[in-house]
Amino acid sequence: MDAKVTGGEDYIHIEMSDVLVDKETSREILMLVSDALRKHGGSRILIEAGRPEKDLTLSDIFFLGMDFEKALRGMSIAFVVDASTIGPEEEHFETVASNRGIWIKFFQDVQSAKQWLAANRAKG
């Protein structure tokens, strides 16, 4: 997984390419986000992932939520992905995260993601 991390005033920006999202890479992404938060601070993250390939079950997503809760509680995370990759799994992930105090939302474009992050400043 290739990733570029930049810190900004309003949010941390992570750009990833060639991502296969499975249990292992999900934990790698969690570590990448955790490291970025330690380095740059803040509570809002914008992740651009293009068109990720997915290999996660709904059960995997549920249990990954527990891992994410420990490191990201109170964070707002916007994922920007190709529209064709947004489906029931992403909606389930948003719900699982929300139940654990993490605000996650999937978007098709960067501008909408930035607007959502700006509106979620009070939560972070």
Residue pLDDT, tens place only, 13-25 = 999 887 878 778 8
pLDDT band at 122 (very low <50, low <70, confident <90, very high): very low
- Over residues 66-115, the pLDDT tens digits come to 777 878 888 899 999 988 888 888 888 899 889 989 999 999 999 999 99
Residue 4 within any structural domain of the chain: no
Full-model pTM: 0.84
Strand-pair partners of 77 = 45, 104
pLDDT band at 46 (very low <50, low <70, confident <90, very high): very high
> Could you tell me if 95 and 106 are in contact, meaning their C-beta atoms sit under 8 angstroms apart?
no
Residue 103 within any structural domain of the chain: yes
Q: What is the pLDDT of residue 103?
A: 92
Residue 5 within any structural domain of the chain: no
Query: Residue 86 carries which DSSP code?
Result: -
The secondary element (H helix, E strand) that includes residue 80 is strand 76-81
Of residues 35, 33, 110, the one with CA closest to residue 79: 110
Q: Which two tokens stand for residue 50?
A: 């293009």
Residue 2 within any structural domain of the chain: no
Q: Domain tally for the chain?
A: 1
